[in-house]
Amino acid sequence: MPGAIVIGASSGIGAALARCLSEQGYRVGLAARRVDLLEQVRAQLPNPAFSQAIDISQPERAMAALRELAAAVGDVELYVISSGVGFINPQLEWSEEQRTIEVNVLGFAAMVNAAVQMLEARGSGHLVGISSVAALRGGRAAPAYNASKAFVSNYLEGIRQRCHRRGVPITVTDIQPGFVATAMAQSPQLFWMATAEQAAEQIFAAIRGRKRHAYVTRRWRLVAWLLRGLPAAWYQRM
């Protein structure tokens, strides 16, 4: 039975993906800040599962805790980093910008660092990061969120290049969801909304296909094409 760890498994996409992986025969490690929610998810899984409290806004402690969880799960071949926060912040409140950077940038990088080291020691594996279509352009309503997701996608690309250059067969997958029905979907202009379960199914398909990149749902590639093509001056007026 293959081993997998989902960081950010207490709710939303992470919880749905943990259930999907367990149903597909994985031994799953669950990580998040809220142990009570993790235990609720763990109780729903059909195969052996393990839980660990990990707050990725405290990078050094989180890295050590991830190593402990990996040892408990045993032979982890797949790491999914789904933890993240996002705030609609047009007033540019510093506390919300700071929290976004602490979790989505520093915390994400710390989890990637620890996961890649363990996969390299293993000799192979798969790393999946949950970014966002928001990574494609800046956003006036949530500047730190869009910028942090651009960091996630670019960091994953750099790790992919590193693994290739070192000759280590580690697949790195960048998942860019559009709107998914979770607590983070705060925009007043929501469309093409997917459920967390639909998102998890498409993410698992990308994992199984060992893809480098996937939009969730797939139709969001049309929005991505539009966002990339818009002139900056026009985009600012939206």
223: left (phi over 0), alpha (psi -120 to 50) or beta: alpha
Cα 56 to Cα 105: distance, rounded to the nearest angstrom: 10
Burial class (CB in 10 A: 0-12, 13-18, 19+), 148: buried
- 126: tokens are 């798969």
* pLDDT computed for residue 180 by the predictor: 84
Are 100 and 145 within 8 A, CB to CB?
yes
26 is catalytic: no
Is 60 exposed, middle or buried, given 0-12, 13-18 or 19+ CB atoms closer than 10 A?
A: exposed
How far from the centroid of its chain's Cα atoms is residue 32's Cα? Answer: 12
Top mean pLDDT of 160-164, 181-185, 224-228 is at 160-164
What average pLDDT does range 88-95 have in this prediction? 95
From the CA atom positions of the chain, what is the Rg in Å? 17
**Under 8 Å between Cβ of 96 and 188:** no
User: What tokens appear for 139 in the block?
Assistant: 């956003």
Q: What is the pLDDT of residue 219?
A: 79
For the chain, which residues make up each domain, given as ranges?
3-236
Q: What percent of the chain is modeled with pLDDT above 70?
A: 88
Question: Burial, 1: exposed, middle or buried (Cβ in 10 Å; 0-12, 13-18, 19+)?
Answer: exposed
pTM for this entry: 0.91
Q: What amino acid occupies position 21?
A: L
Closest among 184, 24, 160, 6 to 82, alpha carbons compared: 6
Three-state SS at 224: helix
Query: Which pLDDT score is estimated for 95?
Result: 97
Across 82-97, average pLDDT: 95
Q: Looking at residue 181, what is its pLDDT?
A: 77
Answer for the pair 144, 96: CB distance below 8 angstroms, yes or no.
Answer: yes
Contact 182, 12 (CB under 8 A): yes
Query: Using one digit for the tens of pLDDT, what is the confidence trace for 168-220?
Result: 999 999 999 988 876 555 555 555 678 999 999 999 999 999 999 999 977 76
Taking the C-alpha atoms of residue 9 and residue 6, their distance in angstroms, rounded to an integer, is 6
State the pLDDT at residue 207.
Answer: 98
Using one digit for the tens of pLDDT, what is the confidence trace for 31-79?
A: 999 999 999 999 999 999 999 999 999 999 999 999 999 999 999 999 9
Q: For residue 201, give the nearest of 189, 179, 220, 216 by alpha carbon.
A: 216
Would you call 226 helix, strand, or coil by DSSP? helix
Catalytic residue among 26, 79, 145, 155: 145
The listed CATH number (3.40.50.720, 3.30.70.141, 3.40.640.10, 3.40.50.150) that belongs to domain 3-236: 3.40.50.720
